[in-house]
Chain A
Amino acid sequence: MEFIYLIIIVIGIYVILASSFNFVIGYGGLLSIAHPAFFAIGAYTAGILARDLGWSGWITIPIGAMMAFCCSIVVSLPALRISGDYLIIASIGFQLGLIEVLKNLKITGGAGGLSNIPAFLVPQIGSAGYAALVTVTALLVVLLLRYVAHGPYGRAVTAMRDDEAAFAALGRSPMWLKLWVLALGSGIAGFAGGIYALYFRYVTPEQFDVMQSNIILTMVMVGGMRTTWGPVVGAVLLEILPQAITFLNLPPSVLGPLQGIIFTSLVLIFMFVRPGGLVSAGQHWHGSDYGPARRVP
C-alpha cells in the first residue's frame, strides 16, 4: 500500500507542475525551460528552513513558493525586456547555473543533496493522509489555474500571445503581463517543490535537471496544451506508464534509458498523430463566463 500512496503523491506533485507549466508555456506562450529550477527553489527553501530552523511545513512550503515567485521575477526581468527568444536561452542558463550552485553550496548539502529534512504531517496522518491532502491540493491548484486562465486575465494573456503590438496599443504592457504569468507559474512550481521535499525528506540537484523539464513538457504536450485537464491526464499517464514498465522485469541498465526513450517517442508520435494532445483544446480561447451570463438582454 505504501507504494501506491507514494505514486499518488508523486502524481499529485506532477499534476501541479504540469498544470503550472501549461499556464506559462501554453496559455502564456512563454518558452521557458526552467520550470524544474523553480521547483528546486521551492524544495530547497522549504527543506532548509524546516531542517535548520525547525519551522513547520505549513510555513516553509508557502515561503518556498514565495521564494520561487520572487526569483522568477528577478530572472525574467532582464530576459523579457530583451525579446521572447532570449527567454528560452536565459531559462536554460538559469537552470544549469542553479544546479551548479546547489551542487557547490554548503547549506544545500552540495552534490550529495539535502538530507535529514524533518518529517511533515506523515507521522500524524500517515502516507494515506498525506496522499489525500496532496490530491486535494493538486485539484485546487488546477481549479485556480482554470479560474485565472479562462477569466478576463486569461483573455488578456491570450491576446498578448496572439499579437503583442496590438495588445500594447490597447494600453497594456506585454512585458509586465509576461512577468506575472511566469511568476505565478513559477511560484506554483515552488509550492510543489515544498510538498516534494517535506515528503521525501531528501533532495539532490540532479532531480531538477533538464530531463525533468523534458518530463513535464511531455506531460503537457501529450495531455493537451491550453486545456485545464490535459496536463492532469498527461501527469497521471506518464507517471503510471513507467511504473507499469517496471513489471516487465527488465534489468535496471535497460529500464533507465528506456524511460527517456519512451518520453521522447511519445512527444514525436503525438506531434504527428495528435498535435493537440489527448485533451484537445479548441482553436479558440473560451471564457469560463461563457454562456447566458455573458449576454446582455
Chain B
Amino acid sequence: MTKVLEIKNLNKSFGGIRVADDINLSLTAGRVLGLIGPNGAGKTSLFNLAFGNVKPDSGSILLNGTLLDGMTPHQRARCGLARTWQHVRLFPSLTVLDNILIGARGYPGEHLTQVLFRPSRLAAHMKGSLEKAYGILERCGLGSAAEQTLADLPYGRQKLVGVARALMNDAQCLLLDEPMAGVEGQLYSIMQRVVREVAESGVAVGVVEHNVAFIRDLCDEGVFMFAGKILARGAVSDLIADTQLTELYFGT
C-alpha cells in the first residue's frame, strides 16, 4: 500500500507546551486513519503543521514523496493536500454552490488574463465544474440546497458543505478536523458514507474526532495522541479497549 502523507520526526513547541513530540505518522491511500485523544493532545495542531498553517521546529512532511517543508499552505494544497476546519470556515458571502465551485482545481476563470482575453475557455470549463459540483452536492445530500445561503443552513449541513468543498479539490490526501461535531441524525450517516466513498476512491483520509462511535465505525486504523505524543497505533476497537488510554482520555 502506498504511503501518501508521511510525517517524519516532527517537533513543535509553543513556549513550554509541546504540541508535537517527535511525531512519526503515515497516511495510506484508500484508508481512513482516526486521530483520537483528549483536548490539547495536539491533534488539530498536527493538521495545522501538516498544512503549513503552523511552522514546525524540526522534522519533515512528504506528500507522495514530495517534500512539503517550507511551502505555504496554498502550495501544499496544489500538491494534493486538502483539509476541513473544526469551525467550518466556509465563505459566508457565497451561496452553497459557489462555496463548492471555489474548490475546483485550476479554474481558468480565476486568472485575470484568461478572464479578459479568453472568455470562451471559461464557459467550457464552467460547464464541467458545474456538473461536478452538482454531483458532489447530490452525494452529500445537499442537492436541494445549491442556491441557498449559508445562513439558511443548519450547522450540520454546513459541515457537509465544508467536506463537499474539499472533495471538489480532488486531493490525494484529505484531513478532516472534527467532521461530526454538530452533525446528527440523517446527516451522520451521510457524512459516514461520504468519507467512506472518498477513501474507497483511493484518497488517504485522516480524521480528528471526539465521536468515538464514528471513529470506530469508519476508521481502518487509529492512533492515540496525548501531550503531543503518539502513544499507540492500531485497530480502533483495541485502542478503546485499552484501559490505560481510556484513563488518559477521561483524565481519571
A interface residues, Cβ below 8 angstroms from B: 147-148, 151-153, 155-156, 158-159, 161-163, 165-174, 177, 180, 184, 283-285, 287, 289, 294, 296
Report the bound CA distance from A166 to B77 in whole Å: 11
Contacting residues of chain B (81-98) with chain A, CB-CB under 8 angstroms: 82-83, 85, 89-95, 97-98
Residue of A159, A165, A169, A287 with highest tally of chain B CB at under 10 A: A169
A-B contact pairs, 26 of them (CB 8 A): A148-B115, A151-B109, A152-B101, A152-B109, A152-B110, A156-B110, A158-B93, A159-B91, A159-B98, A162-B91, A162-B93, A165-B73, A166-B90, A169-B83, A170-B102, A170-B169, A171-B74, A172-B74, A173-B72, A177-B110, A283-B93, A283-B149, A283-B151, A284-B94, A285-B93, A294-B97
Q: Are A163 and B89 in contact (CB under 8 A)?
A: yes
Q: How far is the CB of A70 from chain B (nearest CB, A)?
A: 14
Q: Measured between C-beta atoms, what is the minimum distance from B130 to chain A in Å? A: 5
Taking CB atoms, residues of chain B closer than 8 Å to A170 are 74, 77, 82, 102-103, 165, 169
B residues neighboring A (CB under 8 Å): 51, 53, 72-74, 77-78, 82-83, 85, 89-95, 97-99, 101-103, 105, 107, 109-112, 115-116, 122, 126-127, 130-131, 134, 149, 151, 165, 169
A163 proximity list for chain B (CB < 8 A): 89-91
With a cutoff of 8 Å between Cβ atoms, the chain A residues found around residue B109 in the complex are 151-153, 155-156
**B110 contacts A285, CB within 8 Å?**
no
Nearest-neighbor residue (CB-CB) of B131 within chain A: A296
Contact B115 A169 (CB under 8 A): no
A161 to B93, CA, bound (A): 9
* Interfacial chain A residues near B127, Cβ < 8 Å: 296
Not counting A152-B126, A158-B94, A169-B74, a sample of 6 additional A-B residue pairs whose C-beta atoms are within 8 angstroms of each other reads A155-B109, A159-B102, A168-B73, A169-B77, A171-B78, A184-B112
Report the minimum CB–CB distance from A36 to chain B (whole Å): 23
Per CB-CB distance, the 8 closest pairs between chain A and chain B, nearest first, are A152-B109, A171-B77, A162-B91, A168-B74, A166-B89, A159-B91, A171-B78, A156-B110
Known: A159-B94, A296-B134. A174 touches B126 (CB 8 A): no
In the complex the two chains form, what is the Cα distance from A159 to B110 in whole Å? Answer: 12
User: Within 8 Å CB of B91, what residues of A?
Assistant: 158-159, 162-163, 166-167
Question: In chain A, what residue has the closest Cβ to B95?
Answer: A284
**Contact among A153, A158, A165, A171 for B115, CB-based, below 8 A:** A153
Q: Are A155 and B89 in contact (CB under 8 A)?
A: no
CA distance A166 to B165 in the complex (A): 10
Q: Are B102 and A171 in contact (CB under 8 A)?
A: no
Alpha-carbon separation in the docked complex, A294 to B74 (Å):
28
A152 neighbours in B (Cβ, 8 Å): 101, 107, 109-110, 115, 122, 126
Q: Which residue of A lies closest to B101 (CB)?
A: A155
Q: Is the beta-carbon distance between B149 and A153 smaller than 8 angstroms?
A: no
- Among residues of A, the one whose C-beta sits closest to the C-beta of B135 is A296
Please tell me if the beta carbons of B77 and A294 are within 8 angstroms of each other in the complex. Answer: no
Contact B169 A171 (CB under 8 A): yes
In the complex, what residue of chain B is closest to A163 when comparing beta carbons?
A: B89
Known contacts A165-B73, A284-B94, A296-B130, A156 near B102 by CB under 8 Å: yes
Q: How far is the CA of A158 from the CA of B93 in the complex (A)?
A: 7
Measured in the bound complex, the distance between the Cα atoms of B131 and A15 in whole Å is 38
Task: Point out the residues of chain B lying under 8 angstroms from A174, CB to CB.
Answer: 74
Contact partner, A162, options B92, B111, B112, B130, Cβ 8 Å = B92
Q: A153-B109, A156-B102 are in contact. Are A165 and B89 (CB under 8 A)?
A: yes
Q: Return chain A residues, CB-CB under 8 Å to B130.
A: 294, 296
CA A148 – CA B113 in complex, angstroms? 11
Q: Which of A147, A177, A284 contacts B149 (CB 8 A)?
A: A284
